[in-house]
């Protein structure tokens, strides 16, 4: 029988009790899918596009992730080697999902910690303190919604 590693249980518990302010920006009412999400009832990542700011190697990159049936693919990025990254989300619990992204150029593991506004804090494995957020957007554009600028 498999057991869940203690650090993973701690991560899930922390995600359930941390205030949204600590996790980053919240979504404005005018953004795509701004209606309240029942995070504790989530069984899958909502279908649609998410604009994610990735931080690393001293710079920030934008990627647009399309999610369909819990499968994710990078459909647009300002960093060409990240295009085509794909993976499948797995539910951890309480609105927390893990995904292993890969393509021929890059591999990354991430936790997505969803908030009631439909956005998610994105934590890399290993976490180096990056402030990364996935916000729901209407298309595969890399433009931030007007309320986010």
Question: Does residue 98 carry a pLDDT above 60?
Answer: yes
Question: Does residue 9 carry a pLDDT above 80?
Answer: no
On whether residue 148 sits in a domain, the answer given is: no
Question: Does residue 100 carry a pLDDT above 80?
Answer: yes
On whether residue 90 sits in a domain, the answer given is: yes
On whether residue 78 sits in a domain, the answer given is: yes
Give the C-alpha separation, 5 to 86, whole Å: 25
Beta bridge partners of 123: 111
First and final CA of the chain: distance in angstroms?
A: 48
On whether residue 71 sits in a domain, the answer given is: yes
Q: Which residue range forms the structural domain that includes residue 106? A: 6-142
Confidence of residue 57 (pLDDT cuts 50, 70, 90): confident
On whether residue 107 sits in a domain, the answer given is: yes
State the total domains in the chain: 1
CATH number at residue 127: 2.40.128
Give the C-alpha separation, 22 to 17, whole Å: 11
On whether residue 147 sits in a domain, the answer given is: no
Question: Does residue 96 carry a pLDDT above 90?
Answer: yes
- CA-CA-CA-CA dihedral for 134, 135, 141, 146, to nearest 10: -140
On whether residue 1 sits in a domain, the answer given is: no
Confidence of residue 101 (pLDDT cuts 50, 70, 90): very high
The predicted pLDDT at position 5 comes to 53
DSSP string, 55-121: EETTEEEEEEEEEETTEEEEEEESSGGGTT-EEE-EEEETTEEEEEEE-SS-EEEEEEEE-TTS-EE
Instruction: For 126-144, write each residue's pLDDT tens digit.
Output: 988 999 999 999 999 999 8
């Amino acid at each position: 029988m498999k057991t869940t590693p203690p650090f993973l249980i701690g991560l899930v518990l922390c995600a359930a009790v941390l205030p949204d302010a600590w996790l980053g920006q919240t979504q404005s009412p005018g953004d795509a899918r701004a209606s309240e999400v029942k995070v504790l009832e989530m069984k899958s990542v909502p279908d649609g596009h998410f604009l994610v700011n990735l931080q690393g190697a001293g710079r920030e990159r934008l990627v647009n992730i399309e999610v369909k049936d819990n499968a994710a693919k990078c459909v647009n990025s300002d960093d060409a080697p990240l295009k085509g990254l794909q993976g499948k989300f797995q539910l951890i619990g309480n609105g927390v999902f893990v995904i292993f992204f890969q393509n021929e150029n890059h591999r990354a593991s991430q936790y997505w910690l969803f908030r009631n506004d439909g956005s998610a804090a994105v934590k890399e494995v290993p976490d180096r303190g990056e402030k990364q957020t996935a916000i729901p957007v209407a298309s595969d554009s890399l433009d931030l919604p007007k309320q986010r600028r």
